[in-house]
């Protein structure tokens, strides 16, 4: 067991004062006897500069007195310390870097930021190399700062290389960091995560009013959002700090638990990966990613009450309850099967044909409506779980499950993700556990998807609480996901805010602290019909802030590790 702590505090424009704050908070945290302390991003100086000379002057040398003081504290308290600062590079540039100091006071690793946010692109250079995974007596640590954790690539690569604990240093006013992006990164990789965020103004106090007017962000949201936290591999929040004020947030963790990458059905989430399918992630993309799409369409999740073939008899009534302009309704995985199709595959295929006919009949008077579910269908010499789109004219599209999972060990996996062009936008179909793999959803986004349809069987709480929401947010695409309920939670419909790009004039809403949290309609857990509107055209805007496009500016050059099979990933580093 180990005790990990996130140190939450404010920094300003005086580097010496900020060092004093760091040392005071480290000394305060030591009363809780942590093995590891994680400090926020930009601990040396808030990320606001008059010019390039100013940015250089307030940044740090690796062997300078500021970081030497941090190293001495790590030695004095016999613990590991992660601190993030603006750092002077040997080539005369600047980086945003997390540094790990060990109990002997030595610098063990440096992790440069891979994806810069907005104005950071003006002052800093991106990472040129992937960062290390460091072995300690209590487990394997990896570091990344703030924006690198908003999307899946950097954390995923570190987890594949053996990390058991993510150390995430934040400098964020966004409320969706704590409620979505931070907790999502832990369970999707089945690792622990400790995140330390700022509080206090993130820009010079005398500029708050002027910057608020310029950026269209109310002053109260120009402060660090706090809520530093420790998250378990299941997505449980083990400890969380307040939204304001200094805090030391700590929890006991057993990092060996992060070596268990199995899902409840026994599937190994890394062993089931299909790296060949993820190649676009490590390639440059050209704008625009998305073609034009409809401004608004109505979609639905359907859930018959019956859990056998009599569910087909409910389809006409469920469809009749939909608004006339509904274009897509998603049903749960294998909604009309009473047991695993693997027990009688020829019989399951016959059930699939009856289901297709029933779905087609239900849409007979609705030429614009498509129903989506997954069924067991013949495939070559065997059978596959496949997501089907069925309308009044029959099957419009089919997508075989692409990732193996133990509960469908009879299913022959497909070899290609093929998107469907519909009158209102481009749709990806993700059956089985395909949406659990963030890489595949990234590929769908890179192929221009405006939305994904997910007929699935939820196994873990985090899938709906964080996973599907994160897929929508980090890729800017809509999600329509239907499942049978688990622990009172079912699927969801995730729409996108039309106002998204920071520092632009928003027309639909005033900034409320959330940059890109999707607008979620929960699927009713007691079966029936759940309806919501989505805005596919909003998926075309991926620009989060200046020079920070979610797809075009992703760290594709450093994403080669995602193309390796789990057992072929680089060895674990030690220091």
Both 298 and 243 in one domain: the answer is no
Q: Report pLDDT for 570.
A: 61
User: Could you tell me if residue 475 is inside a domain?
Assistant: yes
The alpha-carbon radius of gyration of the chain (Å, integer) is 24
Let me know if residue 266 belongs to a domain.
no
- pLDDT for position 573: 38
One domain, residues 199 and 313? no
DSSP 8-state assignment for residue 125: P
**Do 343 and 239 belong together in one domain?**
no
Domain extent at residue 382: 286-551
Question: How many structural domains is the chain composed of?
Answer: 2
Are 449 and 316 found together in one domain? yes
Task: Write down the pLDDT at residue 171.
Answer: 97
Considering the domain boundaries, does residue 506 fall inside one? yes
In the 3-class helix/strand/coil scheme, how is 459-492 assigned residue by residue?
CCHHHHHHHHHHHHHHHCCEEEEECCCECCECCE
Query: Across the 575 residues of the chain, what is the mean pLDDT of every consecutive 10-residue run?
Result: 97 98 98 98 97 97 98 98 97 96 98 96 96 96 96 97 97 95 97 98 94 89 97 98 98 97 96 97 94 97 95 97 98 95 94 98 96 96 96 98 96 97 98 97 98 97 95 97 91 95 87 92 92 97 93 96 82 39
Domain shared by 183 and 302, yes or no? no
Q: Looking at the domain assignment, is residue 280 inside a domain?
A: no
Listed residue (411, 423, 544, 368) closest to 473, CA to CA: 544
Structural domain contains residue 281: no
Looking at the fold, whether 96 and 230 belong to one and the same domain comes out as: yes
> What is the Cα 131 distance to its own chain's centre?
19
d(CA 203, CA 201): 5
Q: What is the CATH number of the domain that holds 160?
A: 3.60.110.10
In a domain? residue 572: no
Which residue stretches of 230-372 are H helix? 315-320, 345-362
Q: Does 193 share its domain with 325?
A: no
State whether 216 and 309 are in the same domain.
no
Residue 396 lies in a domain: yes
Same domain membership, residue 242 and residue 299: no
Residue 78 has a pLDDT of 97
What does the alpha-carbon distance between residue 47 and residue 402 come to, in Å, rounded to a whole number? Answer: 42
Same domain, yes or no, for 290 and 228?
Answer: no
Residue 195: inside a domain = yes
pLDDT of residue 42: 98
Residues forming a β-bridge with 168: 144, 195
Residues 212 and 295 in one domain: no
Asked if 224 and 316 sit in the same domain, the reply is: no
Please spell the DSSP secondary structure of 283-299, one letter per residue: S---S--S----S-EEE
Contact 159, 434 (CB under 8 A): no
Question: What pLDDT score does 574 carry?
Answer: 35
Q: What's the pTM value of the predicted model, to 2 decimals? A: 0.96
The answer to whether the Cα torsion of 449, 455, 459, 463 is positive or negative is positive
């Amino acid at each position: 067991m180990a005790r990990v702590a996130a140190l939450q505090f404010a920094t300003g424009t005086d580097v010496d004062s900020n060092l004093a704050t760091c040392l005071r908070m480290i000394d305060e945290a030591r009363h809780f006897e942590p093995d590891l302390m994680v400090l926020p991003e930009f601990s040396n100086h808030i990320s606001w500069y008059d010019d390039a000379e100013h940015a250089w002057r307030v940044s740090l040398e690796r062997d300078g007195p500021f970081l030497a003081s941090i190293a001495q504290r790590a030695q004095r308290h016999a613990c590991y310390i992660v601190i993030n600062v603006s750092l002077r590079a040997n080539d005369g540039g600047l980086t945003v870097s997390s540094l790990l100091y060990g109990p002997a006071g030595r610098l063990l690793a440096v992790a440069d930021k891979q994806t810069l946010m907005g104005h950071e692109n003006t002052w800093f250079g991106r990472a040129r190399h992937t960062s290390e995974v460091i072995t300690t007596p209590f487990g394997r640590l990896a570091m990344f700062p703030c924006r690198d954790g908003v999307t899946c690539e950097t954390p995923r690569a570190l987890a594949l290389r053996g990390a058991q604990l993510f150390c995430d240093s934040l400098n964020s006013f966004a409320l969706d960091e704590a409620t979505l992006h931070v907790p999502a990164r832990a369970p999707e990789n089945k690792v622990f995560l400790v995140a330390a965020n700022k509080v206090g103004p993130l820009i010079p106090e005398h500029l708050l009013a002027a910057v608020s007017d310029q950026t269209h962000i109310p002053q109260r949201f120009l402060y660090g959002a706090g809520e530093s936290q420790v998250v378990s591999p299941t997505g449980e929040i083990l400890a969380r700090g307040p939204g304001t004020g200094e805090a030391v947030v700590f929890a006991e963790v057993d990092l060996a638990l992060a070596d268990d990458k199995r899902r409840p059905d026994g599937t190994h989430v890394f062993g089931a990966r299909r790296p060949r399918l993820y190649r676009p992630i490590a390639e440059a993309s050209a704008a625009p990613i998305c073609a034009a799409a409809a401004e608004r369409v109505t979609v639905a999740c359907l859930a018959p009450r019956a859990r056998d073939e009599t569910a087909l008899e409910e389809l006409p009534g469920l469809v009749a309850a939909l608004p006339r302009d509904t274009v897509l309704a998603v049903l749960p995985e294998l909604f009309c099967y009473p047991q695993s199709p693997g027990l009688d595959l020829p019989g399951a295929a016959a059930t699939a044909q009856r289901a297709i006919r029933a779905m087609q009949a239900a849409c007979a008077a609705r030429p614009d409506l498509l129903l989506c579910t997954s069924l067991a269908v013949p495939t070559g010499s065997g059978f596959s779980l496949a997501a089907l789109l069925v309308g009044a004219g029959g099957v419009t599209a089919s997508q075989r499950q692409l990732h193996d999972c133990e509960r469908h060990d009879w299913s022959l996996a497909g070899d290609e993700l093929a998107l469907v062009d519909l009158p209102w936008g481009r749709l990806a179909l993700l059956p089985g556990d395909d949406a659990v793999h963030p890489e595949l959803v990234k590929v769908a986004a890179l192929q221009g998807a405006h939305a994904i349809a997910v007929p699935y069987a939820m196994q873990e709480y985090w899938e709906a609480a964080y996973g599907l929401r994160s897929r929508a947010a980090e890729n800017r695409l809509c999600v329509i996901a239907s499942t049978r309920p688990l622990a009172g939670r079912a699927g969801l419909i995730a729409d996108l805010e039309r106002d998204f790009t920071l520092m632009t004039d928003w027309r639909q809403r005033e900034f409320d602290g959330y940059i890109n949290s999707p607008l979620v309609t929960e699927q009713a857990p007691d079966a029936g019909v759940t309806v919501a509107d989505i805005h596919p055209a909003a998926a075309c805007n991926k620009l989060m802030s200046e020079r920070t496009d979610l797809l075009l500016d992703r760290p594709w050059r450093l994403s080669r590790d995602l193309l390796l099979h789990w057992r072929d990933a680089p060895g674990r580093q030690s220091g």
